[in-house]
Structure 1
Protein backbone atom coordinates (compact mmCIF):
# COMPACT_ATOMS: atom_id res chain seq x y z
CA UNK A 1 0.00 0.00 0.00
CA UNK A 2 0.97 3.66 -0.11
CA UNK A 3 1.14 5.93 2.92
CA UNK A 4 2.60 9.17 4.18
CA UNK A 5 6.00 8.60 5.78
CA UNK A 6 7.83 11.10 8.01
CA UNK A 7 11.31 11.02 6.49
CA UNK A 8 12.90 12.88 9.42
CA UNK A 9 11.73 15.42 12.03
CA UNK A 10 11.05 18.78 10.41
CA UNK A 11 8.60 20.91 8.46
CA UNK A 12 5.77 19.76 6.21
CA UNK A 13 8.25 19.00 3.43
CA UNK A 14 9.42 15.85 5.30
CA UNK A 15 6.08 14.14 4.57
CA UNK A 16 6.47 11.73 1.66
CA UNK A 17 3.85 9.56 -0.11
CA UNK A 18 5.51 6.19 -0.72
CA UNK A 19 5.01 2.43 -0.77
CA UNK A 20 5.12 0.71 2.62
CA UNK A 21 4.24 -2.79 3.87
CA UNK A 22 0.58 -3.58 4.35
CA UNK A 23 -0.62 -3.53 7.98
CA UNK A 24 -0.43 -6.83 9.84
CA UNK A 25 -3.73 -7.28 11.71
CA UNK A 26 -4.07 -9.16 14.97
CA UNK A 27 -6.93 -11.44 16.02
CA UNK A 28 -8.89 -8.51 17.43
CA UNK A 29 -8.23 -6.09 14.58
CA UNK A 30 -10.35 -4.71 11.77
CA UNK A 31 -8.60 -3.77 8.52
CA UNK A 32 -10.08 -0.68 6.88
CA UNK A 33 -9.67 0.41 3.28
CA UNK A 34 -9.27 4.09 4.01
CA UNK A 35 -11.47 6.64 2.23
CA UNK A 36 -10.20 9.63 4.20
CA UNK A 37 -8.25 10.68 7.26
CA UNK A 38 -7.99 14.02 9.08
CA UNK A 39 -5.21 16.29 10.25
CA UNK A 40 -4.84 16.92 13.99
CA UNK A 41 -2.38 19.09 15.87
CA UNK A 42 -0.84 15.93 17.31
CA UNK A 43 0.21 15.01 13.77
CA UNK A 44 2.17 18.26 13.51
CA UNK A 45 3.94 17.49 16.78
CA UNK A 46 4.75 13.97 15.63
CA UNK A 47 6.16 15.32 12.36
CA UNK A 48 8.37 17.71 14.33
CA UNK A 49 9.68 14.86 16.49
CA UNK A 50 7.89 15.96 19.67
CA UNK A 51 5.11 13.37 19.94
CA UNK A 52 6.14 9.81 19.04
CA UNK A 53 3.41 7.17 18.72
CA UNK A 54 2.74 4.88 21.68
CA UNK A 55 4.66 1.61 21.86
CA UNK A 56 3.38 -0.81 19.24
CA UNK A 57 1.45 1.81 17.26
CA UNK A 58 2.08 2.60 13.60
CA UNK A 59 4.77 5.17 12.82
CA UNK A 60 2.51 6.49 10.05
CA UNK A 61 0.69 9.65 11.25
CA UNK A 62 -3.07 9.93 11.46
CA UNK A 63 -5.31 9.55 14.52
CA UNK A 64 -8.62 8.90 12.74
CA UNK A 65 -10.02 7.62 9.47
CA UNK A 66 -13.10 6.47 7.64
CA UNK A 67 -13.55 3.77 5.04
CA UNK A 68 -14.74 0.24 4.34
CA UNK A 69 -13.97 -2.88 6.37
CA UNK A 70 -12.06 -5.36 4.17
CA UNK A 71 -10.86 -7.89 6.78
CA UNK A 72 -11.74 -8.87 10.34
CA UNK A 73 -9.75 -10.92 12.86
CA UNK A 74 -11.01 -14.03 14.60
CA UNK A 75 -11.86 -12.18 17.81
CA UNK A 76 -13.65 -9.19 16.23
CA UNK A 77 -17.20 -8.50 17.38
CA UNK A 78 -19.87 -6.61 15.48
CA UNK A 79 -18.10 -5.85 12.18
CA UNK A 80 -17.78 -7.64 8.86
CA UNK A 81 -16.29 -6.91 5.44
CA UNK A 82 -18.23 -4.25 3.55
CA UNK A 83 -19.25 -2.21 6.60
CA UNK A 84 -18.84 1.57 6.30
CA UNK A 85 -16.97 2.70 9.39
CA UNK A 86 -14.82 5.36 11.01
CA UNK A 87 -12.19 4.73 13.64
CA UNK A 88 -10.14 6.27 16.43
CA UNK A 89 -6.48 5.38 15.85
CA UNK A 90 -3.19 5.47 17.74
CA UNK A 91 -1.56 6.07 14.33
CA UNK A 92 -1.66 4.91 10.73
CA UNK A 93 -4.49 7.01 9.27
CA UNK A 94 -2.48 8.66 6.49
CA UNK A 95 -2.50 5.44 4.46
CA UNK A 96 -4.52 3.38 2.00
CA UNK A 97 -5.21 0.72 4.66
CA UNK A 98 -5.02 0.56 8.44
CA UNK A 99 -5.47 -2.12 11.10
CA UNK A 100 -7.24 -1.04 14.28
CA UNK A 101 -8.68 -2.83 17.35
CA UNK A 102 -12.37 -3.45 16.76
CA UNK A 103 -13.28 -1.65 20.00
CA UNK A 104 -12.13 1.63 18.41
CA UNK A 105 -14.21 1.20 15.25
CA UNK A 106 -17.60 2.88 14.89
CA UNK A 107 -20.28 2.79 12.20
CA UNK A 108 -20.56 5.88 10.03
CA UNK A 109 -23.49 7.92 11.43
CA UNK A 110 -26.58 7.98 9.23
CA UNK A 111 -26.68 11.06 7.01
CA UNK A 112 -22.90 11.56 7.00
CA UNK A 113 -20.80 10.82 3.93
CA UNK A 114 -17.93 8.30 4.19
CA UNK A 115 -15.45 11.15 3.67
CA UNK A 116 -17.01 13.53 6.21
CA UNK A 117 -16.98 10.75 8.79
CA UNK A 118 -13.16 10.85 8.86
CA UNK A 119 -13.34 14.12 10.76
CA UNK A 120 -15.57 12.82 13.56
CA UNK A 121 -13.76 10.21 15.71
CA UNK A 122 -11.07 12.35 17.31
CA UNK A 123 -13.24 15.38 18.06
CA UNK A 124 -16.31 13.41 19.16
CA UNK A 125 -14.30 11.10 21.42
CA UNK A 126 -12.25 13.97 22.86
CA UNK A 127 -15.27 16.12 23.69
CA UNK A 128 -17.44 13.27 24.94
CA UNK A 129 -14.75 11.80 27.19
CA UNK A 130 -13.53 15.09 28.66
CA UNK A 131 -16.60 17.32 28.83
CA UNK A 132 -19.23 14.71 29.61
CA UNK A 133 -17.53 11.61 31.06
CA UNK A 134 -14.86 13.43 33.11
CA UNK A 135 -16.24 16.94 33.78
CA UNK A 136 -19.89 15.77 33.87
CA UNK A 137 -21.35 18.84 32.14
CA UNK A 138 -25.04 18.99 32.95
CA UNK A 139 -28.07 20.63 31.39
CA UNK A 140 -28.25 24.30 32.35
CA UNK A 141 -24.54 24.58 33.20
CA UNK A 142 -22.11 26.80 31.28
CA UNK A 143 -19.24 25.46 29.18
CA UNK A 144 -16.34 27.72 28.23
CA UNK A 145 -14.47 26.26 25.26
CA UNK A 146 -11.21 27.71 24.00
CA UNK A 147 -10.45 27.46 20.30
CA UNK A 148 -14.13 27.46 19.48
CA UNK A 149 -13.51 27.46 15.73
CA UNK A 150 -11.17 24.44 15.85
CA UNK A 151 -12.30 20.91 15.11
CA UNK A 152 -12.70 20.16 18.81
CA UNK A 153 -14.26 23.55 19.47
CA UNK A 154 -16.91 23.24 16.76
CA UNK A 155 -17.91 19.81 18.13
CA UNK A 156 -17.91 21.01 21.75
CA UNK A 157 -20.18 23.96 20.97
CA UNK A 158 -22.73 21.84 19.14
CA UNK A 159 -22.70 18.90 21.54
CA UNK A 160 -23.01 21.04 24.67
CA UNK A 161 -25.93 22.98 23.14
CA UNK A 162 -27.62 19.73 22.12
CA UNK A 163 -27.48 18.65 25.76
CA UNK A 164 -29.01 21.90 27.00
CA UNK A 165 -25.94 23.75 28.25
CA UNK A 166 -24.96 27.37 27.81
CA UNK A 167 -21.77 27.86 25.78
CA UNK A 168 -19.12 30.58 25.76
CA UNK A 169 -16.41 30.23 23.11
CA UNK A 170 -13.13 32.03 22.52
CA UNK A 171 -11.61 32.51 19.07
CA UNK A 172 -8.90 34.57 17.41
CA UNK A 173 -10.70 36.59 14.73
CA UNK A 174 -14.01 38.26 13.98
CA UNK A 175 -14.79 35.61 11.36
CA UNK A 176 -14.16 32.80 13.83
CA UNK A 177 -16.27 34.53 16.48
CA UNK A 178 -19.11 34.81 13.96
CA UNK A 179 -18.83 31.13 13.09
CA UNK A 180 -18.94 30.10 16.75
CA UNK A 181 -22.17 32.04 17.17
CA UNK A 182 -23.62 30.41 14.05
CA UNK A 183 -22.84 26.99 15.52
CA UNK A 184 -24.88 27.86 18.60
CA UNK A 185 -22.54 29.51 21.10
CA UNK A 186 -24.43 31.88 23.39
CA UNK A 187 -21.37 34.13 23.58
CA UNK A 188 -18.14 34.22 21.57
CA UNK A 189 -15.15 36.36 22.47
CA UNK A 190 -12.15 37.44 20.44
CA UNK A 191 -9.40 36.56 22.92
CA UNK A 192 -7.11 39.15 21.31
CA UNK A 193 -9.51 41.93 22.35
CA UNK A 194 -11.65 40.63 25.25
CA UNK A 195 -10.90 39.09 28.64
CA UNK A 196 -12.64 35.75 29.11
CA UNK A 197 -11.56 35.55 32.78
CA UNK A 198 -14.45 37.82 33.82
CA UNK A 199 -16.94 35.15 32.72
CA UNK A 200 -18.13 32.30 34.91
CA UNK A 201 -18.18 28.73 33.67
CA UNK A 202 -18.99 25.41 35.30
CA UNK A 203 -16.74 23.52 32.87
CA UNK A 204 -13.79 24.84 30.85
CA UNK A 205 -12.30 22.85 27.97
CA UNK A 206 -8.77 24.18 27.46
CA UNK A 207 -6.30 23.53 24.63
CA UNK A 208 -3.82 26.24 25.71
CA UNK A 209 -2.41 25.06 29.04
CA UNK A 210 0.02 27.11 31.13
CA UNK A 211 -0.64 30.52 29.54
CA UNK A 212 -4.35 30.29 30.42
CA UNK A 213 -4.08 28.64 33.85
CA UNK A 214 -4.61 31.77 35.97
CA UNK A 215 -7.39 33.17 33.78
CA UNK A 216 -9.12 29.79 33.62
CA UNK A 217 -9.11 29.56 37.41
CA UNK A 218 -10.57 33.09 37.61
CA UNK A 219 -13.31 32.07 35.15
CA UNK A 220 -14.34 28.93 37.02
CA UNK A 221 -17.59 29.09 38.94
CA UNK A 222 -17.85 27.57 42.41
CA UNK A 223 -17.63 23.83 41.94
CA UNK A 224 -16.21 24.34 38.46
CA UNK A 225 -14.19 21.78 36.52
CA UNK A 226 -11.22 22.69 34.31
CA UNK A 227 -10.20 20.07 31.74
CA UNK A 228 -6.83 20.60 30.03
CA UNK A 229 -6.35 18.74 26.74
CA UNK A 230 -3.56 20.76 25.11
CA UNK A 231 -0.42 22.73 25.83
CA UNK A 232 -0.23 25.22 22.96
CA UNK A 233 0.54 27.92 25.54
CA UNK A 234 3.14 25.98 27.49
CA UNK A 235 3.29 23.16 30.02
CA UNK A 236 4.47 24.81 33.26
CA UNK A 237 2.36 27.39 35.12
CA UNK A 238 1.72 28.70 38.63
CA UNK A 239 -1.47 27.56 40.35
CA UNK A 240 -3.20 29.48 43.15
CA UNK A 241 -4.29 26.59 45.36
CA UNK A 242 -6.10 28.97 47.71
CA UNK A 243 -8.41 30.08 44.92
CA UNK A 244 -8.90 26.47 43.81
CA UNK A 245 -9.90 25.51 47.36
CA UNK A 246 -12.16 28.53 47.81
CA UNK A 247 -14.04 27.66 44.65
CA UNK A 248 -14.14 23.93 45.49
CA UNK A 249 -12.97 23.49 41.92
CA UNK A 250 -11.05 20.70 40.22
CA UNK A 251 -8.54 20.37 37.40
CA UNK A 252 -8.06 17.31 35.23
CA UNK A 253 -5.95 16.60 32.19
CA UNK A 254 -6.19 13.80 29.66
CA UNK A 255 -5.27 12.64 26.19
CA UNK A 256 -6.69 9.87 24.00
CA UNK A 257 -3.81 8.44 22.03
CA UNK A 258 -1.98 6.48 24.73
CA UNK A 259 -5.06 5.14 26.55
CA UNK A 260 -5.55 1.36 26.69
CA UNK A 261 -7.80 -0.19 24.05
CA UNK A 262 -10.54 -0.98 26.57
CA UNK A 263 -10.73 2.67 27.68
CA UNK A 264 -10.89 3.88 24.10
CA UNK A 265 -13.54 1.28 23.41
CA UNK A 266 -15.70 2.54 26.27
CA UNK A 267 -15.43 6.08 24.94
CA UNK A 268 -16.31 4.95 21.41
CA UNK A 269 -19.36 3.06 22.66
CA UNK A 270 -20.53 6.17 24.49
CA UNK A 271 -20.08 8.25 21.36
CA UNK A 272 -22.06 5.78 19.22
CA UNK A 273 -24.85 5.67 21.79
CA UNK A 274 -25.08 9.33 22.75
CA UNK A 275 -23.48 11.44 20.00
CA UNK A 276 -24.20 9.63 16.73
CA UNK A 277 -28.02 9.95 17.10
CA UNK A 278 -27.63 13.73 17.43
CA UNK A 279 -25.56 13.82 14.24
CA UNK A 280 -28.06 11.63 12.38
CA UNK A 281 -30.88 13.93 13.53
CA UNK A 282 -29.02 17.00 12.22
CA UNK A 283 -28.50 18.57 15.67
CA UNK A 284 -24.72 18.31 15.15
CA UNK A 285 -23.07 18.75 11.77
CA UNK A 286 -19.47 17.95 10.77
CA UNK A 287 -17.59 21.20 10.14
CA UNK A 288 -15.15 20.64 7.26
CA UNK A 289 -12.82 23.46 6.27
CA UNK A 290 -11.06 21.73 3.37
CA UNK A 291 -10.36 18.39 1.74
CA UNK A 292 -6.83 17.75 0.46
CA UNK A 293 -5.50 14.72 -1.47
CA UNK A 294 -3.71 12.43 0.97
CA UNK A 295 -0.55 12.48 -1.10
CA UNK A 296 -0.47 16.25 -0.52
CA UNK A 297 -0.53 15.96 3.27
CA UNK A 298 2.23 18.58 3.49
CA UNK A 299 -0.20 21.21 2.17
CA UNK A 300 -2.79 20.18 4.74
CA UNK A 301 -0.20 20.54 7.51
CA UNK A 302 0.69 24.02 6.29
CA UNK A 303 -2.98 24.98 6.32
CA UNK A 304 -3.46 23.75 9.89
CA UNK A 305 -0.30 25.53 11.03
CA UNK A 306 -1.51 28.80 9.50
CA UNK A 307 -4.43 28.88 11.93
CA UNK A 308 -6.78 30.09 9.21
CA UNK A 309 -9.03 27.04 9.25
CA UNK A 310 -12.46 26.59 10.85
CA UNK A 311 -13.31 22.99 11.70
CA UNK A 312 -11.51 19.97 10.27
CA UNK A 313 -9.06 19.49 7.42
CA UNK A 314 -9.49 16.12 5.71
CA UNK A 315 -7.10 14.01 3.66
CA UNK A 316 -8.88 12.07 0.92
CA UNK A 317 -7.68 9.12 -1.15
Structure 2
Protein backbone atom coordinates (compact mmCIF):
# COMPACT_ATOMS: atom_id res chain seq x y z
CA UNK A 1 0.00 0.00 0.00
CA UNK A 2 1.06 3.61 -0.56
CA UNK A 3 2.78 5.32 2.34
CA UNK A 4 1.38 8.72 1.39
CA UNK A 5 -0.71 11.04 3.55
CA UNK A 6 -3.83 9.72 1.82
CA UNK A 7 -2.98 6.22 2.95
CA UNK A 8 -2.58 7.55 6.49
CA UNK A 9 -6.06 9.06 6.35
CA UNK A 10 -7.50 5.88 4.90
CA UNK A 11 -5.98 3.88 7.72
CA UNK A 12 -8.30 5.51 10.25
CA UNK A 13 -11.00 3.21 8.86
CA UNK A 14 -9.24 0.28 10.50
CA UNK A 15 -9.70 1.94 13.89
CA UNK A 16 -13.37 2.26 13.10
CA UNK A 17 -13.55 -1.42 12.19
CA UNK A 18 -12.02 -2.06 15.59
CA UNK A 19 -14.88 -0.29 17.37
CA UNK A 20 -17.41 -2.30 15.40
CA UNK A 21 -15.66 -5.42 16.69
CA UNK A 22 -15.51 -4.18 20.26
CA UNK A 23 -19.15 -3.13 20.60
CA UNK A 24 -20.54 -6.67 21.08
CA UNK A 25 -17.75 -7.20 23.68
CA UNK A 26 -15.72 -9.48 21.48
CA UNK A 27 -11.93 -9.47 21.43
CA UNK A 28 -11.23 -8.94 17.78
CA UNK A 29 -8.36 -6.84 16.51
CA UNK A 30 -8.39 -4.17 13.79
CA UNK A 31 -8.73 -5.63 10.32
CA UNK A 32 -7.87 -3.07 7.63
CA UNK A 33 -5.18 -3.66 5.01
CA UNK A 34 -3.47 -0.25 5.29
CA UNK A 35 -0.47 0.84 7.36
CA UNK A 36 0.08 4.14 9.14
CA UNK A 37 3.15 6.06 7.92
CA UNK A 38 6.14 6.40 10.24
CA UNK A 39 5.77 9.11 12.92
CA UNK A 40 2.10 9.75 12.07
CA UNK A 41 -0.50 9.47 14.84
CA UNK A 42 -4.20 8.95 14.06
CA UNK A 43 -6.54 9.53 17.00
CA UNK A 44 -10.17 10.36 17.62
CA UNK A 45 -13.45 9.76 19.46
CA UNK A 46 -15.95 7.08 18.45
CA UNK A 47 -19.58 6.40 19.26
CA UNK A 48 -21.43 3.13 18.77
CA UNK A 49 -25.00 2.02 19.42
CA UNK A 50 -26.21 -1.59 19.36
CA UNK A 51 -29.63 -3.02 20.21
CA UNK A 52 -31.58 -6.25 19.98
CA UNK A 53 -34.93 -7.70 21.04
CA UNK A 54 -34.70 -11.22 19.63
CA UNK A 55 -31.90 -13.58 20.62
CA UNK A 56 -30.83 -17.18 20.32
CA UNK A 57 -31.23 -19.41 23.39
CA UNK A 58 -28.92 -22.11 22.09
CA UNK A 59 -30.22 -22.60 18.56
CA UNK A 60 -33.79 -21.55 19.50
CA UNK A 61 -34.63 -17.98 18.50
CA UNK A 62 -36.92 -16.12 20.88
CA UNK A 63 -37.66 -12.87 22.70
CA UNK A 64 -38.03 -12.15 26.42
CA UNK A 65 -40.74 -9.68 27.46
CA UNK A 66 -39.07 -9.33 30.88
CA UNK A 67 -36.09 -7.71 29.16
CA UNK A 68 -37.67 -5.89 26.23
CA UNK A 69 -34.99 -4.32 24.04
CA UNK A 70 -31.38 -4.49 25.19
CA UNK A 71 -29.25 -1.55 24.08
CA UNK A 72 -25.55 -0.83 24.42
CA UNK A 73 -23.79 2.49 23.88
CA UNK A 74 -20.03 2.77 23.58
CA UNK A 75 -17.95 5.95 23.78
CA UNK A 76 -14.34 5.31 22.89
CA UNK A 77 -10.97 6.95 22.33
CA UNK A 78 -8.90 5.10 19.77
CA UNK A 79 -5.54 5.72 18.17
CA UNK A 80 -2.74 4.37 16.02
CA UNK A 81 0.93 5.36 15.83
CA UNK A 82 3.30 4.51 13.00
CA UNK A 83 6.53 3.30 14.59
CA UNK A 84 7.67 2.63 11.03
CA UNK A 85 6.01 2.16 7.66
CA UNK A 86 5.80 -1.56 8.44
CA UNK A 87 5.08 -1.50 12.20
CA UNK A 88 2.06 0.15 13.89
CA UNK A 89 0.78 0.28 17.47
CA UNK A 90 -2.95 0.71 18.15
CA UNK A 91 -5.00 1.23 21.31
CA UNK A 92 -8.63 1.58 22.39
CA UNK A 93 -10.27 2.66 25.66
CA UNK A 94 -14.08 2.21 25.67
CA UNK A 95 -16.75 3.50 28.06
CA UNK A 96 -19.95 1.41 27.89
CA UNK A 97 -23.58 1.96 28.96
CA UNK A 98 -26.23 -0.78 28.87
CA UNK A 99 -30.01 -0.64 29.27
CA UNK A 100 -33.08 -2.89 29.22
CA UNK A 101 -36.40 -1.34 28.13
CA UNK A 102 -38.54 -3.63 30.32
CA UNK A 103 -38.39 -5.63 33.54
CA UNK A 104 -36.55 -4.99 36.79
CA UNK A 105 -32.92 -5.38 35.66
CA UNK A 106 -31.04 -2.08 35.64
CA UNK A 107 -28.41 -1.15 33.09
CA UNK A 108 -24.83 -0.40 34.10
CA UNK A 109 -22.10 1.89 32.83
CA UNK A 110 -18.35 2.25 33.16
CA UNK A 111 -14.98 1.72 31.54
CA UNK A 112 -14.80 -1.68 29.85
CA UNK A 113 -11.65 -3.42 28.55
CA UNK A 114 -8.58 -1.57 27.32
CA UNK A 115 -6.90 -3.00 24.22
CA UNK A 116 -3.44 -2.73 22.66
CA UNK A 117 -2.31 -4.14 19.30
CA UNK A 118 0.93 -4.43 17.34
CA UNK A 119 0.54 -4.68 13.56
CA UNK A 120 3.40 -5.78 11.29
CA UNK A 121 3.52 -5.86 7.49
CA UNK A 122 6.34 -8.24 6.46
CA UNK A 123 5.26 -8.73 2.82
CA UNK A 124 4.37 -6.25 0.08
CA UNK A 125 4.47 -7.50 -3.53
CA UNK A 126 3.16 -6.52 -6.95
CA UNK A 127 1.33 -9.56 -8.30
CA UNK A 128 -0.41 -9.42 -11.64
CA UNK A 129 -2.09 -6.04 -12.02
CA UNK A 130 -2.48 -5.52 -8.28
CA UNK A 131 -0.64 -5.21 -4.99
CA UNK A 132 -0.56 -7.95 -2.34
CA UNK A 133 0.30 -7.29 1.32
CA UNK A 134 0.44 -9.71 4.25
CA UNK A 135 0.18 -8.85 7.94
CA UNK A 136 0.74 -10.31 11.37
CA UNK A 137 -1.21 -8.74 14.25
CA UNK A 138 -0.97 -9.45 17.98
CA UNK A 139 -3.27 -7.89 20.58
CA UNK A 140 -3.97 -7.96 24.29
CA UNK A 141 -6.99 -6.76 26.25
CA UNK A 142 -7.78 -6.50 29.95
CA UNK A 143 -10.57 -4.99 32.10
CA UNK A 144 -9.88 -1.42 33.22
CA UNK A 145 -12.54 -1.39 35.94
CA UNK A 146 -13.95 -3.81 38.48
CA UNK A 147 -17.26 -4.38 36.69
CA UNK A 148 -19.43 -7.47 37.25
CA UNK A 149 -19.15 -10.03 34.44
CA UNK A 150 -21.92 -12.32 35.79
CA UNK A 151 -24.73 -9.93 34.87
CA UNK A 152 -25.44 -10.83 31.25
CA UNK A 153 -26.92 -9.53 29.03
CA UNK A 154 -26.39 -6.17 30.76
CA UNK A 155 -22.81 -6.51 31.98
CA UNK A 156 -20.16 -4.26 30.44
CA UNK A 157 -18.11 -7.24 29.24
CA UNK A 158 -16.78 -10.64 30.27
CA UNK A 159 -13.75 -9.45 32.33
CA UNK A 160 -11.50 -12.01 30.64
CA UNK A 161 -7.94 -11.02 29.80
CA UNK A 162 -7.20 -12.06 26.22
CA UNK A 163 -4.40 -12.52 23.71
CA UNK A 164 -5.29 -12.48 20.01
CA UNK A 165 -3.08 -13.57 17.10
CA UNK A 166 -4.20 -12.66 13.58
CA UNK A 167 -2.92 -13.29 10.07
CA UNK A 168 -4.28 -11.16 7.24
CA UNK A 169 -3.88 -10.66 3.51
CA UNK A 170 -4.97 -7.72 1.35
CA UNK A 171 -5.05 -7.52 -2.45
CA UNK A 172 -5.84 -4.29 -4.29
CA UNK A 173 -6.43 -4.13 -8.03
CA UNK A 174 -6.95 -0.57 -9.17
CA UNK A 175 -9.66 0.91 -6.94
CA UNK A 176 -11.05 -2.48 -5.80
CA UNK A 177 -9.69 -4.49 -2.88
CA UNK A 178 -10.30 -7.73 -0.99
CA UNK A 179 -9.07 -8.36 2.56
CA UNK A 180 -9.28 -11.69 4.42
CA UNK A 181 -8.12 -12.54 7.94
CA UNK A 182 -8.32 -15.15 10.67
CA UNK A 183 -7.74 -14.75 14.40
CA UNK A 184 -7.25 -17.10 17.34
CA UNK A 185 -8.21 -15.58 20.71
CA UNK A 186 -6.79 -17.02 23.94
CA UNK A 187 -9.00 -16.09 26.90
CA UNK A 188 -8.04 -16.21 30.56
CA UNK A 189 -10.33 -17.63 33.25
CA UNK A 190 -12.39 -15.23 35.37
CA UNK A 191 -13.81 -15.03 38.88
CA UNK A 192 -17.45 -14.25 39.67
CA UNK A 193 -19.21 -13.05 42.84
CA UNK A 194 -20.66 -16.39 43.93
CA UNK A 195 -19.13 -19.60 45.27
CA UNK A 196 -21.14 -22.07 43.18
CA UNK A 197 -22.81 -22.15 39.77
CA UNK A 198 -24.30 -24.63 37.32
CA UNK A 199 -23.35 -25.08 33.66
CA UNK A 200 -23.95 -28.65 32.50
CA UNK A 201 -22.83 -29.74 35.96
CA UNK A 202 -22.42 -28.19 39.40
CA UNK A 203 -19.24 -26.19 40.11
CA UNK A 204 -18.39 -25.33 43.74
CA UNK A 205 -16.02 -22.47 43.01
CA UNK A 206 -16.01 -18.84 41.96
CA UNK A 207 -13.62 -19.53 39.07
CA UNK A 208 -15.04 -19.84 35.55
CA UNK A 209 -13.12 -21.48 32.74
CA UNK A 210 -13.46 -19.32 29.60
CA UNK A 211 -13.24 -21.08 26.22
CA UNK A 212 -10.98 -19.68 23.52
CA UNK A 213 -12.45 -18.35 20.26
CA UNK A 214 -11.86 -18.04 16.52
CA UNK A 215 -12.72 -15.08 14.32
CA UNK A 216 -12.78 -14.82 10.52
CA UNK A 217 -13.31 -11.66 8.48
CA UNK A 218 -13.81 -10.95 4.77
CA UNK A 219 -14.19 -7.46 3.33
CA UNK A 220 -14.27 -6.03 -0.16
CA UNK A 221 -15.03 -2.69 -1.76
CA UNK A 222 -13.71 0.59 -3.16
CA UNK A 223 -10.52 2.27 -1.91
CA UNK A 224 -9.20 5.35 -3.69
CA UNK A 225 -8.03 8.84 -2.73
CA UNK A 226 -10.32 10.31 -0.05
CA UNK A 227 -13.02 7.60 -0.02
CA UNK A 228 -13.31 4.02 1.21
CA UNK A 229 -16.57 2.04 0.96
CA UNK A 230 -16.66 -1.65 1.84
CA UNK A 231 -18.94 -4.58 2.60
CA UNK A 232 -17.91 -6.79 5.53
CA UNK A 233 -18.73 -10.36 6.53
CA UNK A 234 -17.33 -11.68 9.80
CA UNK A 235 -17.79 -14.66 12.07
CA UNK A 236 -17.04 -15.21 15.77
CA UNK A 237 -17.02 -18.82 17.05
CA UNK A 238 -16.47 -19.84 20.66
CA UNK A 239 -14.43 -23.05 20.97
CA UNK A 240 -16.42 -24.68 23.74
CA UNK A 241 -18.89 -23.54 26.35
CA UNK A 242 -22.54 -24.50 26.71
CA UNK A 243 -25.96 -23.23 25.65
CA UNK A 244 -28.22 -20.96 27.69
CA UNK A 245 -30.70 -23.19 29.51
CA UNK A 246 -34.41 -22.63 28.90
CA UNK A 247 -35.69 -19.33 30.38
CA UNK A 248 -32.39 -18.67 32.13
CA UNK A 249 -29.87 -15.81 32.06
CA UNK A 250 -26.76 -16.03 29.89
CA UNK A 251 -23.48 -17.01 31.56
CA UNK A 252 -19.95 -15.74 30.76
CA UNK A 253 -18.72 -19.15 29.53
CA UNK A 254 -21.68 -19.78 27.20
CA UNK A 255 -20.96 -20.81 23.63
CA UNK A 256 -21.42 -17.46 21.84
CA UNK A 257 -21.35 -17.62 18.03
CA UNK A 258 -22.28 -14.82 15.65
CA UNK A 259 -22.10 -14.07 11.93
CA UNK A 260 -22.47 -10.41 10.95
CA UNK A 261 -22.94 -8.60 7.67
CA UNK A 262 -22.20 -4.89 7.43
CA UNK A 263 -20.87 -1.86 5.58
CA UNK A 264 -18.17 0.70 6.43
CA UNK A 265 -17.44 4.07 4.87
CA UNK A 266 -14.74 6.68 5.39
CA UNK A 267 -14.49 10.13 3.79
CA UNK A 268 -11.55 12.53 4.06
CA UNK A 269 -12.59 16.16 4.36
CA UNK A 270 -10.86 18.74 2.17
CA UNK A 271 -10.54 21.03 5.17
CA UNK A 272 -9.31 20.93 7.82
CA UNK A 273 -6.48 18.88 6.41
CA UNK A 274 -6.04 15.52 8.13
CA UNK A 275 -9.64 15.07 9.36
CA UNK A 276 -11.75 12.05 8.38
CA UNK A 277 -15.41 11.21 9.00
CA UNK A 278 -16.37 7.56 9.43
CA UNK A 279 -19.72 5.73 9.55
CA UNK A 280 -20.77 2.08 9.51
CA UNK A 281 -23.43 -0.45 10.43
CA UNK A 282 -23.81 -4.20 10.75
CA UNK A 283 -26.47 -6.81 11.53
CA UNK A 284 -26.22 -10.28 13.08
CA UNK A 285 -27.59 -12.67 10.46
CA UNK A 286 -26.97 -15.91 12.41
CA UNK A 287 -26.04 -16.74 15.96
CA UNK A 288 -26.05 -18.95 19.02
CA UNK A 289 -26.58 -17.61 22.56
CA UNK A 290 -26.29 -13.99 21.33
CA UNK A 291 -28.71 -11.19 20.51
CA UNK A 292 -29.68 -10.48 16.92
CA UNK A 293 -28.19 -7.02 17.16
CA UNK A 294 -28.22 -4.07 14.80
CA UNK A 295 -25.18 -1.84 15.30
CA UNK A 296 -24.35 1.63 14.01
CA UNK A 297 -21.11 3.53 14.55
CA UNK A 298 -19.66 6.94 13.80
CA UNK A 299 -16.54 8.91 14.56
CA UNK A 300 -13.95 11.54 13.68
CA UNK A 301 -10.22 10.92 13.30
CA UNK A 302 -7.37 13.37 12.93
CA UNK A 303 -3.83 12.75 11.67
CA UNK A 304 -0.95 14.37 13.57
CA UNK A 305 2.22 14.33 11.47
CA UNK A 306 5.25 14.40 13.78
CA UNK A 307 7.59 14.29 10.78
CA UNK A 308 6.72 17.91 9.99
CA UNK A 309 7.40 18.99 13.56
CA UNK A 310 10.80 17.29 13.47
CA UNK A 311 11.61 18.87 10.12
CA UNK A 312 10.53 22.30 11.37
CA UNK A 313 12.74 21.94 14.46
CA UNK A 314 15.73 20.92 12.34
CA UNK A 315 15.18 23.71 9.75
CA UNK A 316 13.34 26.60 11.46
CA UNK A 317 14.08 28.95 8.57
CA UNK A 318 12.01 26.83 6.15
CA UNK A 319 8.23 27.00 6.21
CA UNK A 320 6.32 23.71 6.00
CA UNK A 321 3.48 23.23 3.49
On whether the aligned pair clears a TM of 0.5, the verdict is: no
Q: Which has the higher helix share?
A: 1
Relative to the length of structure 1, the TM-score reads: 0.26
Relative to the length of structure 2, the TM-score reads: 0.26
Larger Rg: 2
Q: Which has the higher strand share?
A: 2
